[in-house]
């Protein structure tokens, strides 16, 4: 993981949330340090510290989250929410499992989390074509394909964290000698480091609020979108035959490839480059252009689903610009409270990543915990 694990569930542990004991108790009960100390291996915490408080794998961070959930006695209900139904007393949720369906609620508010699914692409199920979701579910199969065809070309298009994570996987999984073509609209994998000034703005809400809207936009564009962590860039630099090229992919087609008369079938990636349209043949293509952050639209009533069509940019921008400090939609939203952290990076840049999960939780929970004394 690129984020250090000290940026854990309660981070940045602001002492002024509701009661000043909350931060302390959250640290005592649910911090990464306490998780490490309570591991069966007595040296686990000291070893991690002596090694320089290193970054951890996604697996390890997932174990930490599971531990905290269990410790909190907070067993999640596993079900797929198919509808958010607005009613006079709040939201009701329609959800189903493989065998049952049920309604839950009423709830005063709902948080829709997650970056959303991959954007629809007609080739999603074509052999050799993957996206930022099904790539991770298919790594065994991809390994098999690559071992069978070590001379083929891999194309990864997209220039942000999704592309970087995928390129990093190739570097770590024994494919550093493979021919890989990265296509991005900015011709470069821009990196972000880990300096105090950048990190501070993810955790200091007051400093963030003092920035002008245009400075916030510039920060988010520079550090949250289309940018790769330096640790990931180090891994990617081990790819011996990686070429970066500028190109906006326009379509990918499955067709005959190779010299005239060849019966070999593969994928042809068409893109617009500085010098005009071009194409490249590949046997593995990964669309790493990101996710549909408005994915929850499909759960809403028909009228709101229509209003939030991808083509209705004006309505989407208006709602996004009006997102409140509690990360819910503001003026113009006529349904019960819906918190949308993944759209709220101008309210706080840590709402779309794992850098300040405590602040994310505080923002949402404080709005429901107004104490009788009038302070939140």
Ligand X SMILES: Cc1cc2nc3c(=O)[nH]c(=O)nc-3n(C[C@H](O)[C@H](O)[C@H](O)COP(=O)(O)OP(=O)(O)OC[C@H]3O[C@@H](n4cnc5c(N)ncnc54)[C@H](O)[C@@H]3O)c2cc1C
Quick note: the x/- pattern for ligand X over 210-249, rule CB under 6 A, is ----------------------------------------
Closer CB to ligand X, 157 or 271, in the complex? 157
- Does the footprint of ligand X cover residue 18 (CB under 6 A)? no
Sole binder of ligand X in the list 355, 356, 358, 363 (CB under 6 A): 355
- Distance from CA of residue 358 to its chain's centroid? 17
Residue 134's DSSP bridge partners are: none
User: Smallest Cα–Cα separation from 224: which of 115, 299, 325, 130?
Assistant: 115
> Do 93 and 107 meet the contact criterion of CB atoms below 8 Å apart?
yes
Q: Is 81 in the site for ligand X (CB under 6 A)?
A: yes
Q: Please report, as residue ranges, which positions from 99 to 118 form the binding site for ligand X (by CB under 6 A).
A: 113-115
What is the per-residue DSSP string for 185-223?
TTSS--EE---HHHHHHHH-HHHHHHS-HHHHHHHHHHH
- Given the complex with ligand X, which of 84 and 257 has the nearer CB atom? 84
**Which of 21-29, 210-218, 280-288, 347-355 is the region at the interface with ligand X (rule: CB under 6 A)?**
347-355
Nearer to ligand X by Cβ, of 152 and 348: the residue is 348
How many residues are present in the chain? 376
Residue 290 CB, nearest distance to ligand X (Å)?
10
Report the distance separating Cα 334 and Cα 291, nearest Å: 26
User: Could you give the CA distance from residue 91 to residue 108 in angstroms, rounded to a whole number?
Assistant: 6
Q: Which CB atom, from 211 or from 361, has the smaller least distance to ligand X? A: 361
Nearer to ligand X, 203 or 352 (CB): 352
Nearer to ligand X, 277 or 301 (CB): 301
The backbone region for 276, taken as left when phi is positive above 0, alpha when psi lies in -120 to 50, beta otherwise, is left
Instruction: Answer yes or no whether residue 364 interacts with ligand X by CB under 6 A.
Output: no
According to CB under 6 A, which one of 154, 354, 359, 363 is a site residue for ligand X? Answer: 354
The correct pick among 3, 31, 153, 289 for binding ligand X (CB under 6 A) is 3
- Residue 355 Cβ, how far from ligand X at the closest point, in Å? 5
CB of 228 to ligand X, least distance (A): 11
User: Closest approach of Cβ 360 to ligand X, in Å?
Assistant: 9
Question: By rule CB under 6 A, what count of residues binds ligand X?
Answer: 13
Residue with tokens 């649910």: 30
Q: Which stretch binds ligand X (CB under 6 A): 1-9, 10-18, 147-155, 315-323?
A: 1-9
Whether the CB-CB separation of 282 and 269 falls below 8 Å is answered with yes
Q: Is the peptide bond before 12 cis (omega within 30 degrees of 0)?
A: yes
Q: How far apart are CB 43 and ligand X at their closest, in Å?
A: 26
**Could you tell me if 109 and 337 are in contact, meaning their C-beta atoms sit under 8 angstroms apart?**
yes
Residue 273, CA atoms < 13 Å, CB-side half-sphere: 14
Token readout for 118 is: 């991959």
Q: Which of 85/278 has CB closer to ligand X?
A: 85
CB of residue 189 vs ligand X: minimum separation in angstroms? 15
User: Which tokens belong to 208?
Assistant: 């963030």
Instruction: Give Cβ neighbours of residue 375 (< 8 Å, ≥ 6 apart).
Output: 18
Query: Please, which of residues 119-178 interact with ligand X by CB under 6 A?
Result: 165
Given a contact cutoff of 8 angstroms between Cβ atoms, the answer to whether 174 and 304 are in contact is no
Name every residue whose Cβ is closer than 8 Å to that of residue 201 and which is 6 or more positions away in sequence: 207, 208, 211, 219, 349
Residue 233 or 355: the one with the smaller Cβ distance to ligand X is: 355
Q: For ligand X, which is the closer residue by CB, 76 or 259? A: 76
Shortest distance, position 159 Cβ to ligand X, whole Å: 15
Closer CB to ligand X, 91 or 271, in the complex: 91
At residue 374, φ and ψ (nearest 5 deg) are: 95, -5
Beta-bridge partners for 278: 271
On whether the CB atoms of residues 154 and 179 are closer than 8 A, the answer is yes
* Residue numbers at the binding site for ligand X (CB under 6 A): 1-3, 80-81, 113-115, 165, 352-355
């Amino acid at each position: 993981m690129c984020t250090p694990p000290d940026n854990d569930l309660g981070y940045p542990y602001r002492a002024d949330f509701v009661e000043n004991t909350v931060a302390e108790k959250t640290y005592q009960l649910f911090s990464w340090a306490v998780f490490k100390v309570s591991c069966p291996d007595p040296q686990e915490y000291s070893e991690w510290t002596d090694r320089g408080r290193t970054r951890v794998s996604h697996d390890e961070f997932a174990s930490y989250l599971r531990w905290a959930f269990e410790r909190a006695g907070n067993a999640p209900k596993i079900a797929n929410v198919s509808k958010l139904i607005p009613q006079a007393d709040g939201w009701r949720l329609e959800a189903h499992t493989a065998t049952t369906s049920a309604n839950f609620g009423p709830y005063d508010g709902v948080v829709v989390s997650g970056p959303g699914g991959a954007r629809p692409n007609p080739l999603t199920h074509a052999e050799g074509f993957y996206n930022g979701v099904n790539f991770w579910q298919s790594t065994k199969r991809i390994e098999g394909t690559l071992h069978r065809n070590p001379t083929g070309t891999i194309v990864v298009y997209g220039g942000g964290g999704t592309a970087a994570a995928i390129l990093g996987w190739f570097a770590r999984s024994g494919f550093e000698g493979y021919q890989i073509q990265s296509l991005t609209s900015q011709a470069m994998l821009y990196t972000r480091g880990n300096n105090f000034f950048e990190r501070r703005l993810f955790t200091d809400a007051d400093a963030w609020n003092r920035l002008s809207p245009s400075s916030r936009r510039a920060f988010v564009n520079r550090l949250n979108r289309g940018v790769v962590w330096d640790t990931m860039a180090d891994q990617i630099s081990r790819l011996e035959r990686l070429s970066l090229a500028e190109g906006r992919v326009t379509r990918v087609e499955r067709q005959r490839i190779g010299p005239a008369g060849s019966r070999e079938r593969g994928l042809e990636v068409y893109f617009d480059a500085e010098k005009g349209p071009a194409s490249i043949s590949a046997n593995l293509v990964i669309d790493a252009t990101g996710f549909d952050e408005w994915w929850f639209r499909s759960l809403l009533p028909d009228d709101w689903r229509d209003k939030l069509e991808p083509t209705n940019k004006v309505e989407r921008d208006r709602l996004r610009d009006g997102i409140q400090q509690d990360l819910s939609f503001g003026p113009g939203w006529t349904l019960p409270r819906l918190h949308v952290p993944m759209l709220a990076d101008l309210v706080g840049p840590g709402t779309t990543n794992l850098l300040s999960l405590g602040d994310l939780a505080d923002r949402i929970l404080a709005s429901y915990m107004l104490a009788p004394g009038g302070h939140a």
